[in-house]
Amino acid sequence: MNNPLTMPDLPFSVFRFNFHSNNPIRLPPYPGSAWRGAFGHALKKTVCVVRNTPCAECLLKSSCAYSYLFETPPPANSEKMRKYTAAPHPFVLQMPLAEQQDTRYPLQIVVFGHGQRFFPYLVHALNTAGNDGLGGRRQVLQLETVEQLFPASAPQPVYREGQLDVLSPPAMPAIPPMPGRIRLSIHTPLRIKQDSKNVNGAHFHFAPFFGSLLRRISMLTYFHTDTPLTTDFAALMRQAGTVEFADKKLRWHDWTRYSSRQQTEMQLGGVLGSLELDPEGLEDFWPYLWLGQWVHAGKATSMGLGRYTIEADDVD
């Protein structure tokens, strides 16, 4: 490779929004769609001053919090994704991995790069979304506190009793050494397409998976940071084509959601399960795989799909 040691530099912050309810919380499986829809509706209601005008036609779209966070159109001078109406959004929602049985609900949101400057809007919109109610039963959730999370230190309170505190700047996490065996556990449907078809477990290979992750990290650094990824993409993908999973336990999970914006049901199924890789020869891929735990992979990532974790066994 021309730049074999090039590392992705994607600073981000992780925030935990601590909600509570007066009743036991009962949200649908994979409630990221409900959260994203409620968040988007509340955010637009908060900031939009030009009613009944599509964002693409609005004169304020280049300076609007809703446009940047939720629509994310590529800038007019963009050298990438010029044919697309939207770039990757600067956030990812992460729901609790275990079903919530009590009256408390911790919602995490990963905010990439420049997206953090709109943090007050995120707090206000998610607070409003909770008060308006989530899911078919419109379950009301009240925001108590928000904490900024860190890999190696205690959470830092950044919102409590209606007041914002100072935030730490976004940062790229330190990449640990590779473990003796890389095991990825996929928690929410991972949707990858190849030749315009969804890739199921039997045809799930490393190259399409890594290609999806590489493109996503590249686009996030390009649109939301001052450090666009520069590396030998072609060489990385050629090498990815030689990598095989050491073990693969995947199943297809069908998931249907209703889009209120498009007024139609959408099929968003994907694979769940686990993947294992032998680390030999994966040094160039390891930073991207580790970062993918916060970035997510595949389609519909902003609503929490494509989330995986890497087990910490043998990782310092």
Task: Domains for the chain: give ranges and CATH numbers.
Answer: 12-164 (3.30.70), 182-310 (3.30.70.1900)
Amino acid letter, residue 164: L
Q: What are phi and psi of 288, to 5 degrees?
A: -70, -40
Burial bucket for residue 101 (CB in 10 Å: 0-12, 13-18, 19+): exposed
pLDDT tens-place string over residues 8-25: 999 999 999 999 999 888
Long-range contacts of 173-178 (CB under 8 A, 24+ apart): 173/290, 173/291, 173/294, 175/7, 175/286, 175/287, 175/290, 175/291, 176/290, 176/315, 176/316, 177/315, 177/316, 178/279, 178/282, 178/283, 178/286, 178/315
Residue 261 confidence (pLDDT): 55
CA dist 174 and 9 (Å) reads 10
Separation of first and last alpha carbons in the chain:
28
Q: Tell me the C-alpha distance between 212 and 223, whole Å.
A: 17
Q: Tell me the CB-side half-sphere exposure of residue 316, using CA atoms within 13 A.
A: 5
What is the reported pLDDT for 191?
A: 93
Q: Which of 38, 78, 85, 37 is nearest to 57 (CA)?
A: 85
Residues paired with 14 in a beta bridge: 110, 149
pLDDT by residue for the chain (316 residues), tens only, comes to 444 547 899 999 999 999 999 988 888 878 898 999 999 999 999 898 887 888 888 888 888 999 999 999 888 777 776 666 688 999 999 999 877 678 999 999 999 999 999 999 999 999 999 999 987 778 999 999 999 999 889 999 999 999 999 999 999 999 999 999 999 999 999 999 887 778 888 889 999 999 999 999 999 999 999 999 999 999 999 999 999 999 999 999 987 655 555 555 667 789 999 999 999 999 999 999 999 999 999 999 999 999 999 985 554 4
Q: Do residues 190 and 298 touch, judged by C-beta distance below 8 A? A: yes
Distance CA 249, CA 269 (A): 17
**Tokens for 91?**
């956030």
Matching residue, tokens 């970062």: 291
Q: Give the pLDDT confidence of 140-154 residue by residue, as tens digits.
A: 999 999 999 998 899
Rg (CA), the chain: 19
Query: Residues 186, 308: contact at Cβ < 8 Å?
Result: yes
**Separation of alpha carbons 7 and 173, rounded Å:** 12
Name the residue among 43, 20, 196, 203 with its Cα closest to residue 106.
20
pTM for the structure as a whole: 0.91
